[in-house]
Amino acid sequence: MLQPVDLDAFLAFLAGLAALVIIGLQAWYDRRDALLADHRRLNSAFSCARCGTTYVRPRRREEAACPRCGWNNVRLRF
Ligand SMILES: [Zn+2]
């Protein structure tokens, strides 16, 4: 048994649904952008104590070997 639905109520329901979808998408993209920015920002910089080479390694790490001489250096802190 179908009940007649008021057109205004139906349109209001559709508008509310569309607003929810848009707000949800915005939240999802905001979260995704924040995660990607963190991933790009979390590089570690090193300056070799033996040969003076400056280099960067992805992710946060405390030590990395120099690409030129192989010396193990600690992360630069700013
Ligand atoms: Zn080096």
Ligand 1 center from residue 52 Cα (angstroms): 6
pLDDT over threshold 80, residue 7? yes
Ligand 1 center from residue 76 Cα (angstroms): 14
Ligand 1 center from residue 42 Cα (angstroms): 22
Ligand 1 center from residue 77 Cα (angstroms): 18
Domain ranges of the chain: 1-41, 43-78
Q: Within a 10 A sphere around the Cβ of 31, how many other Cβ atoms?
A: 10
Ligand 1 center from residue 66 Cα (angstroms): 5
Higher pLDDT, 74 or 38: 74
Burial track 46-57 (b if 16+ CB lie within 10 A, e otherwise): bebeeeeeeeee
pLDDT tens sequence across 8-66: 999 999 999 999 999 999 999 999 998 888 777 788 899 999 999 999 998 888 999 99
